[in-house]
Amino acid sequence: MNIPGLGQAAPAATFSAPTIQAAVAVHDLQANSEWRFEVAYGQSIEVKILSGTAEIFGTELAVNHTYTFRGTKSSIFTWHGCRIEVNGPCEEYMAEETPMITYVNTHFALEKLRDDAIQNGGEGPRVLVVGPNNAGKTSLVKLLTAYATRMGRQPMVINTDSREALLSIPGTLTATPFASIIDVEHGWGSSPTSGPSPVPVKLPLCYYYGLASPEDDTKLYKPILTRLALAAASRLADDPVIRGTGMIIDTPGVISQGKGGYDLISHIVSEFSVNTILVLGSERLHSEMQRRFSAYKTRSGEAITLVKLDKSGGCVDRDDTFMQQMQEAAIREYFFGDPKRTLSPHTQQVNFDDATIYKIHEGGEEDSQQVGLYENVEPSSMMLHCLLAVMYASTRDSQETVRDASVMGFVYVAEVDEKKRRLKILAPLNTRITDRPMIWGSWPETTVSLI
């Protein structure tokens, strides 16, 4: 079972009030401008570049190719001007002021570091992107990744935000080498179980945290981060192209907004040997990072470079409703595919006595210190419509070994029959799961019935 790929900008821009675009429309974008749009869940639009050049978060769009976008908030930028055709309803506006110049300059500065690393036989930059919620961190990571792949590089992209997964289900932390372009219609791309794709699939290494915020249980979050860092470092050591390109690390906004979070940033810096920190959209955070890391040295004796970048005027707040819709869409796509690639998941009947299920403690760090990492639980009706992470471990392994194992895949609890002591499980592949431990977390939250 592999984790499938899932679909998912400067000072304030000058624009007219957002409008709902319904019919076919043609827009002419001036050089260095951006067309920003929002498509609601349950709706879709088709966009075609008629002439000129344009890109989405660093990935160039082909001329006269129709792109379909569903349930997204995104933007199309042009360096030299272009004409686009839009078919479908969306909220949209034009922006003439963007931070793209500073972002691309950041990319070229990283390229210089990569050239130096390859020439000297060292590692490329390990870049950490920090900033408050809805500051555009993931968009910047995506842009820097896309520009690196366009230069023939293979960056290792690290996601430490369990609330929003990268090429996986929410609740996970991943490390993914990118050797090909990003599929702009699906956010980050796809993996083998998503079905055939015109864009080469990505193969993430996935670890399960199972809670929405790192601060919910730092005693669990930190060792998983450490295990992720070890796995990423091992991959860099084995592949000279990835080693010369380095890492780009995305972070959850919550750790950039308080003292406890700053300690987690320090942990990430230490474990991943970060030597470049990009601070997005926060003077206070930049000042705190300067105070903490101005004299800091990595294990290899490198100093940390701190860079403050402006938040894009195109960044929008994503309310709880949008986040829930995004989460449910990711889960549905994992089991059933998308409109272009339909999947047919399998159902299995599992006896209560055959299932080994660990529940993450709701009490958080203090509770887990007293009774262990997980609670070994018997299946119950409380699991209905929940996801369970199937781990690459044995049912005889210790809880620490299970925690440090990577994720084999996910199953969905469709029915719980307490009288017959039997579970009905939905799984992407018809694979035996009773000889593997499964973890039940509180994130992603209980979803609506999938079947």
Task: Answer yes or no: do 221 and 254 share one domain.
Answer: yes
Given a contact cutoff of 8 angstroms between Cβ atoms, the answer to whether 327 and 171 are in contact is no
Residue 34 annotated as binding? yes
Tell me whether residue 136 is annotated as binding.
yes
Beta strand 422-427 with 346-351 is: antiparallel
Tell me: do 86 and 106 sit in the same domain: no
**What CATH number has the domain bearing residue 246?**
3.40.50.300
Task: State how far Cα 336 lies from the chain centre.
Answer: 20
In angstroms, the CA 83 to CA 172 distance is 39
Residues 94 and 115 in one domain: no
Check the annotation: does 270 bind a ligand.
Answer: no
Asked if residue 422 and residue 357 are part of one domain, the reply reads yes
Q: What's the pLDDT at 19?
A: 53
> What is the separation of C-alpha 56 from the centre of its chain, rounded to a whole number of angstroms?
17
> Is 64 part of any domain?
yes
d(CA 316, CA 95): 14
**In a domain? residue 107:** yes
Asked if 279 and 147 sit in the same domain, the reply is yes
Domain encompassing residue 292 = 100-309
List the chain pLDDT tens, one digit each, 451 residues.
444 333 333 333 444 455 555 579 999 999 999 999 999 988 999 999 999 999 999 999 999 999 999 999 999 999 999 999 999 999 999 998 899 999 999 999 999 999 999 999 899 999 999 999 989 999 999 999 999 999 999 999 999 999 988 989 999 999 999 998 888 988 776 555 444 455 556 788 999 999 999 999 999 999 999 999 999 999 999 999 999 999 999 999 999 987 788 999 999 999 999 999 999 989 999 999 999 999 998 888 899 999 999 998 888 777 788 888 888 888 888 898 877 778 888 999 999 999 999 999 865 555 545 457 899 999 999 999 999 999 999 999 999 999 999 999 999 999 999 999 999 999 987 788 899 999 999 998 877 777 7
- Is 139 annotated among the ligand-binding residues? yes
CATH number at residue 23: 2.60.120.1030
> How remote is the C-alpha of 190 from its chain's centroid?
12
User: If we measure between CA atoms, which residue out of 93, 18, 7 comes closest to residue 44?
Assistant: 7
What is the SS3 assignment for the chain?
CCCCCCCCCCCCCCCCCCEEECCCEEEEECCCEEEEEEEEEEEEEEEEEEEECCEECCEECCECCEEEEEEEEEEEEECCCEEEEEECCEEEEEECCCCHHHHHHHHHHHHHHHHHHHHHCCCCCEEEEECCCCCCHHHHHHHHHHHHHHCCCCCEEEECCCCCCCCCCCCEEEEEECCCCCCHHHCCCCCHHHCCCCCCCCCCEEEECCCCCHHHCHHHHHHHHHHHHHHHHHHHHHCHHHHHHCEEEECCHHHHCCHHHHHHHHHHHHHCCCCEEEEECCHHHHHHHHHHHCCCECCCCCECEEEEECCCCCCCCCCHHHHHHHHHHHHHHHHHEECCEECCCEEEEEEHHHCCEEEECCCCHHHHHHHCCEEEECCCHHHCCCEEEEECCCCCCCHHHHHHCCEEEEEEEEEEECCCCEEEEEECCCCCCCCCCEEECCCCCCCCCCC
- Residue 446 within any structural domain of the chain: no
Question: CA-CA distance, 125 to 423, in Å (whole number)?
Answer: 47
Rounded-to-integer distance, Cα 45 and Cα 69, Å: 5
Name residue 359's amino acid.
Answer: K
Confidence at residue 247, expressed as pLDDT on a 0 to 100 scale: 98
Neighbours of 43 (CB within 10 A): 12
Report CA 322 to chain centroid distance, whole Å.
16
- Sort 372 into a burial class: Cβ within 10 Å, 0-12 / 13-18 / 19+: middle
* Cα 276 from Cα 289, distance rounded (Å): 11
19 annotated ligand binder: no
The structure's pTM equals 0.90
Residue 332 placed within a domain? no
Q: Is 190 left (phi over 0), alpha (psi -120 to 50) or beta?
A: beta
The Cα-based distances of 217 to 130, 194, 374, 379, 430 in angstroms read 20, 32, 12, 23, 33
Give Cα separations from 346 to 61, 336, 403, 416 (angstroms): 36, 10, 26, 17
Residue 120 corresponds to which tokens in the numbers above?
């000297």
Same-domain status, 107 and 61: no
Residue 330 lies in a domain: no
Give residue 34's Cα distance to chain centre: 24
Structure tokens at 303: 């100093």
Task: Say whether 175 counts as a known binding-site residue.
Answer: no
Other CB atoms within 10 A of residue 31 CB? 12
Is the same domain home to 60 and 130? no
Pairing, β 276-280 against β 247-250: unpaired
Do residues 106 and 234 both lie within one domain? Answer: yes
376 is in an annotated binding site: no
Residue finishing a domain among 47, 82, 98: 98
> 120 and 94: one domain?
no
Same domain, 171 and 26: no
Residue 51 in domain:
yes
**Inter-residue contact 157 to 183 (CB < 8 Å):** no
Residue 364 is assigned to a ligand binding site:
no
Q: Are residues 278 and 379 in the same domain?
A: no
Model pLDDT, residue 371: 58
Query: Considering 309, 334, 361, which residue would you say is the last residue of a domain?
Result: 309
Q: Give the residue carrying structure tokens 């203090």.
A: 366
Residue 36 located in a structural domain: yes
Find the angle CA(315)-CA(320)-CA(321) to the nearest 5 degrees.
Answer: 100
CATH of the domain at 432: 2.40.30.330
Q: How many residues does the chain have?
A: 451
Whether 118 and 249 share a structural domain:
yes
* Residue that is last in its domain, among 98, 130, 149: 98
Q: How far is residue 34's CA from residue 96's CA, in Å, rounded to a whole number?
A: 6
Q: Say how many domains are in the chain.
A: 3
Is 5 domain-assigned? no
